[in-house]
Each structure stands twice: as C-alpha cells, then as structure tokens.
Chain A
Amino acid sequence: MSIETTELTTPGTPPAPSNVAPKVHQRRRQRGSRVAGIALRTPFWVLTGALALIFLYPLIWTGVSSFAPLAGTNQTNGWGFGNYETLLDYQAGIWQYALNSTIVSVLTVAFTLIISLLGGYAFARFRFPGRNILFLVTLAILMVPYATLLIPLYVLLNAIGLSNSLLGVALVLTMLQLPFSTFMMRLSFEAVPRELDEAAQVDGASTWGVLWKVLLPAVKPGVITVGLFAFLAAWNDFLAPLILINDTNLLTLPLAVSNLRGQVQGVVDYGATQAGVVVLALPCVLLFLILQRHYVRGFMSGAFKG
C-alpha cells in the first residue's frame, strides 16, 4: 500500500471538469499552418474514430439486434419486441427479477450511504480509541479476495437466518462497498473547514445537528459519488447472489439473464439474452451519461484501491 495517495484530488476541491482534462499543453498554432494541420490531423481522426467505433459497436449492435429477427428466438419475422416478451414470460418474469435487483440495490445504497456518512464523520471529526485500527481494517477489506469471504459468509448467513435473502446479499454488498465509501466520505468531511462546525457548535448545535444541517450540504458531491458506485456495484453484482441465493424467485437480474441462456432443451435463446443485456445495461449507461462527472471523480479519489 505504498501507493501515493497524496496527489489525489480531494472531494472538497471544486468538481473536476467532466473531461479529466489534463492541462492543455498550450500549443501556439501559427495561422499559416492551420490548413496543413487539418491535413495532418485527418489520419488521426480516422484512426481514433475507428477506435471509438470498436468500443461503441458491441453496445450498439446488441441494442439494435435485440429487436431484429433471428431464428430460434421469439422474434423470427420482422422487427419487434418478441425477445422482450420472452423475458416477461421467463420463470418468475423479468419484472420480478428487476424488482429483486432494485431491492438489493436500494438497500445497498441506503446502508452504504448511512454507514459511510456516519463513519466518515466519525473518522474525520472525532478522536476515539481504536479509530485508526478500525479505519485500517475497513480498508483491508480490499485486500481480501471476494471469494475467500463468500465461503464463510455463506455459512454465517445461514446461521443467522439471512441465507437466501435479499437483505443478506445487500449487507454483504454493503461491506464490500465500505472501503471505498468510508475513504471517500472521510476525505469529503476533512475537506470542509473545521471553522464551519465550530461556529455552528458555538451557536448551540449538537454534533448530530452539525452533521445534518451544516456538513451534509457540504459533502453532497461525495454522497452522490458513493451512492452511484454502490448502486452500480449492487445492480451488477453476480457472485454474491450466485452463492447466497438458492430460490429462483429471489434471483437478481444478472443471474436470471445468465440462467436464461440454457433453458429450452439446451438451445440458447440468443435474442432473449440480448434483450436481457439491454435491460441490465441501460440503467447503468444512462446513469453514467447523466452523472459522468461524479463517475470520473469517483475513479480519481478511488485511485487508492488495491
């Protein structure tokens, strides 16, 4: 863990521009060479355009062909929603699985936000015995393989009656989010000047009041980043529900779509799988495009991971 964290952008600094724009190397372009510049740049545009296409093509292709006719799917004649109809009829129905995924995601986001908000506040503003050890142990979660934890968690959750439950999955996913979110919230709180809470305390506010009325607005960008990452992790997680959930009615979307492939006498319904991928990916891609700035910032301050 000798990775330098000192250079990290702290959450308190003004939000980084959505493009992680490294300082533009200011090049003085002479006006005369502009035409030559365009001529020189054309291969660059063609090359990088092709690059962009490689990254976008699989997504676009999946989106388009989920509506396209294909033998062996529910959409054999012309274009339409046949593959999505397959999803509706698949076992408990796509709505049930989407609901399960939503429950897991909402619970995980809520737990992660509450716990890391309170924890980050504690680590940033209070001195108490065991503070450093607790913080280090929280970060140590990153060093332990996921699979190493899931085997004993399977046994532990069974013992306390949380096996085969969406709540159990959400708690496990919350634990996995804690290193990033606690670190992020601690940085966010530390970036707020202490004078702010001291002034409020002189005015008679309790620590609880300071947290909600004074600090929460100041750390809002950190909260959004932590929430976004918790949502994406929970919505997409595959391994925890694979191991912890047995009941087919409680499966989450990634598992349901993955299981769907082998349903009809071993013949894979590729069309329905594509429709499933669209349902899985669409919320994530939309969230990414809307909250790009927070996404990028999360990566930047998440750069301690490992």
Chain B
Amino acid sequence: MTALSVRAAKRARKPRSRAVTGWLYAAPTAAIVIGFFVLPLLLVFQMSGSDWPLLAGNQGLNLPENYTEAVSNRFFWDSIVFTAKYTVITTVILLGLALGLALIVQESTRWNGFLRIAILVPSALGLASASLLFYVLYSPFAGPFAGLMDSLGFTFLGTPDGALWSTVFLIVWRFAGFYMLLMLVGLQGISDDVYEAARMDGASRLRIFKDITLPLLRPTIAFTTVLCVTGSLLAFEQFYILTKGGPDNSTITVVQLIYSVAFQGQNDLGVAAALSVIVLAALIVINIVQIRGFSRKAED
C-alpha cells in the first residue's frame, strides 16, 4: 500500500501523468455529459429533420415538412401566446412579492426566522405534489372553498382566466420562498455603510429603496428574472396536473404541446423534435436579450 502511494506521489509530480489522472477523475462526468446531454442534443436536431413516428423510428429525411407542420399545428400560436402571458404575469408577481417578502423578513429576529421558514416550506414540495395539492384545494367538491364557489356560482378552474390565475397562485405559493431567499442573498451583499451614509444624509425610506436598494440589487434582479422567465416558459407539470390544458384548450403551454404531439395521439417525434428545437432557439434568444437588456441598463 505504502509503496504504491509513494509511487503515485512521485508520478503526481510529473505534469503529464497528472493530466491523465485528472482526466480519469473527470471521466465519469464526461461520460454522462456526452451520453445523456451532447448526444441527445445532436439527435434532437437530426430528429427534427426526419420523419420519425413514435413506434416505427427513423423513416428518412422530412426536412421542411416537420417545421412547417410544427408551425401550422392548430395550437402552436395559441400555446405561444398563452405561455408568454403566463410568463409575464408570473414573473412580475413572483419577483415583486419575493422582494417585498425579503424586505419584510430581512432583519434577523425570532419572529422573522419563523416567517422565513413558513414561507420557505412550500419550496420543499415537488411541483407535481404542489399541483396535486391545489387540485384538491380548488376542487368544487372537496376543497375548503366548495361552499363559497357553490353560492357564488363559479369554480376556480372553470373559466380560462380562472384557470390561469389559479395556476399563478399555486406557482407563487410554491416559489415565493425560493425567490425570497435569492433576494435576501442579494440584499445581504449591500454594505451597511451605504445605508448608514444615506440615513445620515436624511434620505427617506422610499428614497433609500429607490436610489440605493434597487440599483444595487440589479444583478440579483437580473438573475432572478432570467431564472423565472426560463422556468415559466417551460411550464408543464402545473398545467398538466391542474388544468389538463383546459377549459377549452385555453391553458396549453408550449411544452405541453410538445408532449402531446410526441406521446398523445399524434405520436410524431419528428414534429415534436422540431418544436423542441424552436423552443430551444427561442429560449436562447430571449435569454440573450434579457441579459443584454440588463447589462445595458447597468451602463446608463
């Protein structure tokens, strides 16, 4: 054992063998990344250009057709509009609320410690569990608001707007703690001296928030916005479980469309892959625009 170790130590001093050792340690990472990420990514491009039924497999090139079929799907534009609407609403409410909550619980007291935990507990649930929980909570038969809904003659998930806002509430409930935590981390990065100086100058609380907290929080806000927009654009579970795309197909998101084209009825992996590539491209463009936008504002 010791002889081996000594030899290994000697070997370790030579840079080339050290590089080999490094590769050996990185090999499992490389294997998973190549096998389960790079290859699938290449394959999805190939599939998007091929006729590829779910069960029959590759049936040869089908290049412009997959994409034209994807774009002409009767839910394509509807799902894009709905996903965009949902993303904007969720991001604005979620980040605004998260910042507000972070400011409320910022000071470290026992009560605030309790508040933080209470707000964070829903973040421990999976999105599917949370959706199932609200599925029962919103139910006109078993939910605590059943009586109320009955007397007012509406149901939470019965109208397109109701379904959208009910889902937004679920998502805000599930993620508010998570984003609050990120905001807290950002607030923590602002030095006390800055606040102290502003207070000495007699700045009001509102002034301090507008002229100090918000600008200094920009990196955090930029980051949480990118995160929240990306997550919302790819929404699936909440709608799959809670609204099933209804009522009247009014809450179909882009990822739901991909799933249904691939596995529900149409069973066309080629068109689903084409949709996936479109989503990937759109996501990259949207994120670049966001990051550019935020860094340009920072320069002003």
Contacts and interface: CB of A to CB of B under 8 A. Distances in A.
Contacts of A121: 25
B32 A206 contact: no
Contact of B136 (A143, A149, A277, A281): A277
Interface string A256-289: 0110010000001011011011001100110111
Interface in A290-306: 292, 295-296, 299-300, 303, 305-306
Interface residues of B, number: 110
Interface stretch (B147-155, B160-168, B230-238): B230-238
A182 interface: yes
Interface stretch (A32-40, A88-96, A172-180): A172-180
Contacts of A202: 9
B75 interface: no
B12 interface: yes
Contact of B127 (A70, A238, A257): A238
B125 A285 contact: yes
A297 to B, nearest CB: 10
A149 B40 contact: yes
B32 A285 contact: no
Given A7-B189, A116-B29, A151 B118 contact: no
A152 B273 contact: yes
Contacts of B47: 151-152, 155
B26 A118 contact: yes
A23 interface: yes
B64 interface: no
A118 B127 contact: no
Interface residues of A, number: 109
B8 interface: yes
A171 B280 contact: no
B22 A61 contact: no
B18 interface: yes
Interface in A127-145: 127-131, 134, 137-138, 140-141, 143-145
B227 A305 contact: yes
A116 B132 CA distance: 32
Nearest to B110: A19
A243 B263 CA distance: 8
B276 A206 contact: no
Interface string B60-87: 0000000000000000000000000000
Interface string A39-83: 000000100100110111011011001000010100000000000
A30 interface: no
Given A2-B295, A277-B129, A24 B25 contact: no
B122 A21 contact: no
A9 B132 CA distance: 35
Given A147-B279, A149-B40, A238 B181 contact: no
B92 interface: no
B241 A119 contact: no
A207 interface: yes
B33 A148 contact: no
A248 interface: no
Tell me the dominant secondary structure on chain A's binding face: helix
A214 interface: no
B119 A52 contact: yes
B32 A174 contact: yes
Contacts of A261: 132, 135
Contacts of B141: 72, 268, 270
A122 interface: yes
B157 interface: no
Looking at A25, A65, A137, A277, the one whose CB has the most chain B CB atoms below 10 A away is A277
A232 interface: yes
Contact of A131 (B26, B111, B263): B26
Interface string B125-140: 1111100111111010
Nearest to A140: B37
B26 to A, nearest CB: 4
A52 B114 contact: yes
A151 B107 contact: no
A270 B138 CA distance: 11
Contacts of A284: 124-126, 129
Contact of A19 (B24, B113, B237, B262): B113
A52 B41 CA distance: 43
Contacts of B127: 236, 238
Interface of A: 1-4, 7, 9, 18-25, 45, 48, 51-52, 54-56, 58-59, 61-62, 65, 70, 72, 111, 114-116, 118-119, 121-123, 125-131, 134, 137-138, 140-141, 143-149, 151-156, 171-172, 174-175, 178, 182, 201-202, 204-209, 232, 235-239, 243, 254, 257-258, 261, 268, 270-271, 273-274, 276-277, 280-281, 284-285, 287-289, 292, 295-296, 299-300, 303, 305-306
8 contacts: A7-B189, A48-B111, A48-B115, A52-B114, A126-B26, A147-B279, A153-B36, A171-B36
Interface of B: 2, 4-6, 8-9, 12, 15, 18-26, 28-30, 32-33, 36-41, 43-44, 47, 52, 57, 101, 104-108, 111-129, 132-137, 139, 141-142, 144, 173, 176-178, 181-182, 184-185, 187-189, 192, 195, 219, 222-223, 226-227, 230, 234, 236-237, 240-241, 255, 258-259, 262-263, 269, 272-273, 276-277, 279-280, 283-284, 287, 291, 294-295
The 5 closest A-B pairs by CB, nearest first: A236-B126, A126-B22, A206-B8, A270-B142, A119-B29
